[in-house]
A and B are shown apart, each in its own frame.
Chain A
Amino acid sequence: MKKLSFLFIMTTLSLGMVACSSNSEASSDKVKLTVATYSDPFEVDIVTQQAEAYMADNPDVEIIIEPISGDFWEVLKTRMVSNNEPDIFYMDIFQAGQFIDAEKLASLDDLLTGEDLADFEPALLNGFRGQDEVLYGIPKDFSTLALYYNKAMLAEAGLEPPTTWAELEKVAKALTKDGVVGLSLQNGIDRAQPFFYSNGGSMMKDGVPTFNDPKNIEAYEFWIGLIKDGYAQTPQQLGVGWDGDAFASEMVAMTIEGNWMVNSMLELAPDLEYGVVPIPYKEKPASMQFTVAYSMSKNTDHPEEAKDVIKFLTSSEQQQIVADAGRSMPSRTTALEEFKTNWPERAVFADLAPIASEFNYGVISSTVVDEAAKAMEKVLLDDSVTVQEAFDTAQANIDKALSKQ
């Protein structure tokens, strides 16, 4: 038994020594920066290439790519609690509010000069500004929503793609026949919001969510009416995973989706002929934007170097590389112009940027999205609940959650 304790102590000691020696070894004078990305190989590949390009020009900086698997935001938050977050990380417009409010992000105001700043679409920058108008994230790319339509189906029925709500209803109604449904609508705020804004409604007023705005309710009544009348169906009702599956398998003639679906269609139905037009409007045209930025931790040891990396990653040239990969669009106007000539079929999404409302509801974005989803689900599944009632309940819960922050 004495032997055993001896063995144990020896093992611990030797392990300790190994640990110490490996620590002292890593003392190079390179500045190390960690960049956290989503973990899917698509993103990791692009960022790795970009980092290598940067390091080739800046030999004194070492960029370590850290793909975060699982729930990116949950991991980022817990790492922030232990002051152990990466130096640079993705910042979704949807999540930005809470991090800005908690003062976790460093100001990037001095990163862009006036001319540089003017190159960004103002609508895309807004979501990353705090109440104090300071900029906390530089958009790296964005996506917008538009209406996809099946060319053959519309041509056969002798119809033009709809531009107004009335036309949308008419076209959807005319195309709902022979087992095909006119329109596939994902029943959530992240697809219905353009209808709210198109009707003169809004989701945020003075930094506070205004979900039950009467104009929003009116717009949603139109939306749910399409579904209840049978001219539109949710992907769930159709028994598919998402709008893209429904559209690609020609179960529906039209759907509202983002530019990422162009890429999916190449895989799902490469031979399907389709067109894309802006979402039909009522009072004014509207879309919705999903923007991802690079933000910098307030705790970083090397703010100057990190800023330079962000500047590089959001430069026109680098944005083009991201855009050419096909999922999203560059956030700089100069790069966007080039994108439009390279990808003419995606130009319609690019043109929607100035009228695209933000997928961002301040500090409690996730609560707003959850409550909106619940309210919309309730209206869809329970005929006895009016849109007004469901939206009012959701608003009350949102207000309550906001008061707890």
Chain B
Amino acid sequence: MDKKTQENIDGWIMVAPVVILMLIFVIGPALYSFILSFQDYNMLKPDKSEWILFGNYQELLSDPNFYQALFNTLKYSLIVVPVQTAIALLLATVANQKIKGKTFFRVAYYIPAVTSAVASAAMFMFLFNTNGIANKFLGIFGFQAVSWFNDPTYALPLAMIMAIWSTVGTQMLVFLAGLQDIPREVYEASAIDGASSARSFWSITVPLLSEKTMFVVIVGMIGTLQMFDQAFIISGGTGGPLGSTTTVVLYLYNKAFGENRLGYGSAVAVGLFIVIFTLTLLQQSFFKEDDDNYKPKRLGGKISERIAKRRKVNG
């Protein structure tokens, strides 16, 4: 056995635990669910399942409830992703300043991310109750008390608030890491050139963070399109009021495990997969273009070249 094969084998052995787990718990079930989507498969009557090819997909395309779920999910994603990215960036910038007690702020912003979904849901139930603190607070400004959980207009926004509150901390951490990677010299140079702090934020921080932003946006988008827990908690699993919190995953859960129609549920899952896959591809190409526009790497390079030049001049 030459050295290379030996190294290959060792490499595989080292990744084996993860690869095996992935095959058993992620890739295998995903493939199986793809196969199931072509069957009329009743969970309790597996022996009576039939191949119906595209039957499930045909039903899916003419299922108004699926479209409502898809619409809710897209609406949720379109609002949550930009808002949480912006807030995370803002918080990261604040937490990156040299201010007193910044460790406290960093921890405080991150706590929601480590709180269990059930605990935070219980807290939101309490806050956004009809007689809850949120309504009392809004009442000070003359707003009418609303029944957040039971009004179709407010149930999904409430889910959005919950999601933003609980995920912003993690994304802040990503941005914070990115911010600390930006060399101090770049800011110094721009300050010397007379740039305002707003200008250096837009012209240095934002473009230099674009890789992190892409990561945050794509991960956020995938996460929001797969939204399940907030909707399940707010509606008690029904997707109500009036279907306003029915997300695609909640819908497929109810079809698969409520009506025992694993085949149809799988078809919904494949549909969601196609949507997520397409959107991720689109986003990637969008960010690539962005990259070319800003050319952050080269811009950074140019500036550091300039700094080097200056140093030379000065030195």
Contacts and interface: CB of A to CB of B under 8 A. Distances in A.
B200 interface: no
Interface string A85-110: 00000000000001101101000000
B305 interface: no
Interface stretch (B6-14, B80-88, B178-186): B6-14
Interface in A354-405: 364, 366-367, 370, 373-374, 377-378, 381-382, 401, 404-405
B49 to A, nearest CB: 11
Contacts of A102: 42, 44-45
A377 B240 contact: yes
B241 A81 contact: no
A405 B241 contact: no
Interface of A: 1-2, 4-5, 8, 71, 73-74, 77-78, 80-81, 98-99, 101-102, 104, 234, 236-239, 364, 366-367, 370, 373-374, 377-378, 381-382, 401, 404-405
B238 interface: yes
B10 A77 contact: no
Nearest to B131: A239
Contacts of B264: 404
Interface of A: prevailing SS: helix
Contacts of A405: 42, 259-260
Contacts of B129: 239
A373 B14 CA distance: 52
Contacts of B45: 102
Contacts of B243: 374
7 contacts: A8-B16, A74-B257, A77-B43, A234-B150, A239-B131, A239-B132, A404-B261
B259 A404 contact: yes
A5 B257 contact: no
Q: Which 4 A-B residue pairs are closest in the complex by CB-CB distance?
A: A239-B130, A102-B44, A239-B131, A236-B150
A71 B236 CA distance: 12
Interface string B260-274: 110010000000000
B107 interface: no
B147 A77 contact: no
Given A377-B241, A382-B242, A401-B259, A4 B10 contact: yes
B258 to A, nearest CB: 5
B46 interface: yes
Contacts of B44: 77, 80-81, 98-99, 101-102, 104
Contact of A238 (B130, B258, B260): B130
Contacts of A104: 44
A370 B242 contact: no
B259 A236 contact: no
**Residue from A73, A239, A401 having most chain B Cβ neighbours under 10 A:** A239
A382 B243 CA distance: 13
B203 interface: no
Given A234-B150, A401-B259, 11 more contacts: A1-B7, A5-B13, A73-B257, A102-B42, A237-B150, A239-B132, A370-B254, A373-B240, A374-B240, A381-B151, A381-B242
B38 interface: no
Contact of B238 (A8, A74, A373): A373
A116 B6 CA distance: 73
B104 to A, nearest CB: 34
B157 interface: no
B13 A374 contact: no
Nearest to A8: B13
**Residue from B130, B149, B258 having most chain A Cβ neighbours under 10 A:** B258
B223 interface: no
A239 B258 contact: no
B7 to A, nearest CB: 7
Contact of A370 (B16, B241, B258): B258
A366 B254 CA distance: 9
A373 B243 CA distance: 11
Nearest to A402: B259
B300 interface: no
Contacts of A401: 259
A81 B42 CA distance: 10
Contact of B130 (A237, A373, A404): A237
Contact of A237 (B13, B147, B258): B147
B32 to A, nearest CB: 12
Contacts of A5: 9-10, 13
A237 B45 CA distance: 41
Nearest to B261: A404
B258 A77 contact: no
Contacts of B14: 4
B147 A239 contact: yes
A78 B29 CA distance: 14
B263 to A, nearest CB: 10
A391 B242 CA distance: 14
**Residue from B13, B46, B147, B259 having most chain A Cβ neighbours under 10 A:** B259
